[in-house]
Amino acid sequence: MKIVYISDNNMFLCNEGKIAALPCERAEKYTDTVNEINKNKEWKHTGAGAMFREDISYYPDASQFVKINGVSAAKDDFIYSAILGEMGAIYRKSVESPKAPEGHIYTGMNRNIGSIAYKDGRIAAILDGHLAIFDERGDYNELTDGHSKEDSPYWSATDDRIFCSTRGLALEGGSGFSASSILVVDESAGTIDTLFAEEGNDLLEPKNDADGNYYFIRQPYKQEKDAREPVWKSVLLFPARLIKAIFGFINAFSVLFGGEPLRKSQRKGDVKSKNKSARELYLEERLREAEKNEKENAAAGDKNPGIFPRNRVLVRISPDETETVLCKGVLDYTVCNEGIICSNGKELILIDKNGSEKVIAKAELAEKLSVIN
């Protein structure tokens, strides 16, 4: 069994339990080209003359502007979607010859290509937040629009319908998005209907199988808070924040040149943590959260405890509308002939049709799973 997936912005292949990284030719070419262009411009913005003109520029590594958003099996090969700087793109890649030149399907400036799904020469893709269908020449037809955001398209296993998740954008009286529900889109009939929706829950990653079962991930809905602070609060807190900033500067000066803080109760670790970047602090917080979730999952008796909360569950709805929770603490999953392949953030697990679990391979943060038959 061959499974392609994304982890930490890279593509991987799991072939009979063995994991191998897949090179991304287009991302590498984009990064090398942009970095070379910036390097050739660097002389204009360095040296004393540039400092005198206040014309100093910093060019970050172009790889920071590359994002791989989706993979999908396409016959014997697979396709992937990516953001390369300001360009959205879809390419075809060989599994047997991963270093072979990649096939071009679509590129568009200032277009955002998200998750994708392939079936019989047609590609369901999220284009600028809405569902679209591409052919292999790159021509496309947009199916949804409006004040919503779609994600995770999936071609039905029983017909030509498309499933996707959707969430509405709050226009007045707040910010952020509503809870995610599941749509079913029938292009030939020109219909868009809500298939599943629940108050207080996000329903994500919809799929079905040839036996008529529906699947999705359910997790508690958390409303996004408005990050903007009221003006009155900013005015009231300004004096206190100014004093805090001044003291913080003096304290940092004391630590830097005196070797110890003004506040004797402050531990050295406190100073060190304040010097960490936002990314480092974010990753540390996520790591602590993952460790906590894994301990809780193991204590609850999970056979293969993952690093995601147990309230993020994989659900199956049978043709008679019976609901079954197949897995808890799930990151992502896909349907295959043998059953369900599930990622718990640590491993790829096969859940067969009898409900038995078997670890296929160690795979950290594997998502956007797709099986190549």
Backbone angles phi, psi at 101, to 5 degrees: -55, 140
Q: Average pLDDT of 290-305?
A: 88
What percent of the chain stands above pLDDT 90? 65
Contacts for 24 with CB less than 8 Å, ≥ 6 apart: 10, 11, 66, 68, 80, 82
Residue-level pLDDT at 269:
47
Residue-level pLDDT at 271:
47
Residue-level pLDDT at 348:
97
β-strand 148-155 against 140-142: which pairing, if any? unpaired
Q: What is the largest CA-CA distance in the chain?
A: 76
**CA-to-CA dists, residue 162 to 146, 153, 231, 372, angstroms:** 18, 7, 45, 19
What percent of the chain stands above pLDDT 70? 78
Supply the mean pLDDT for the chain.
Answer: 86
Say how far apart CA 206 and CA 196 lie, in whole Å.
9
Q: Evaluate whether the domain defined by 2-225+304-372 bears CATH number 3.40.50.1370.
A: no
**CA-to-CA dists, residue 313 to 8, 184, 279, 328, angstroms:** 22, 21, 28, 4
**CA-to-CA dists, residue 278 to 105, 281, 316, angstroms:** 37, 5, 39
Confidence of residue 227 (pLDDT cuts 50, 70, 90): very low
Domain boundaries, the chain: 2-225+304-372, 231-299
Query: Which tops the pLDDT comparison, 258 or 306?
Result: 306
Q: Average pLDDT of 46-63?
A: 63
Contacts for 317 with CB less than 8 Å, ≥ 6 apart: 196, 213, 214, 215, 323
Nearest to 68 by CA among 93, 33, 97, 101: 93
Least confident of 151-155, 173-177, 283-287: 173-177
pLDDT in tens, 258-282: 556 555 554 444 445 455 655 566 5
Q: Which of 112-116, 146-150, 267-271 has the highest mean pLDDT?
A: 112-116
Say how far apart CA 164 and CA 183 lie, in whole Å.
5
Say how far apart CA 249 and CA 230 lie, in whole Å.
26
Residue-level pLDDT at 247:
59
Task: Tell me the one-letter amino acid at 308.
Answer: F
Nearest to 65 by CA among 35, 102, 44: 35
Question: How many CB atoms are closer than 10 A to CB 179?
Answer: 18
Say how far apart CA 304 and CA 347 lie, in whole Å.
8
Q: Average pLDDT of 318-336?
A: 96
Confidence of residue 243 (pLDDT cuts 50, 70, 90): low
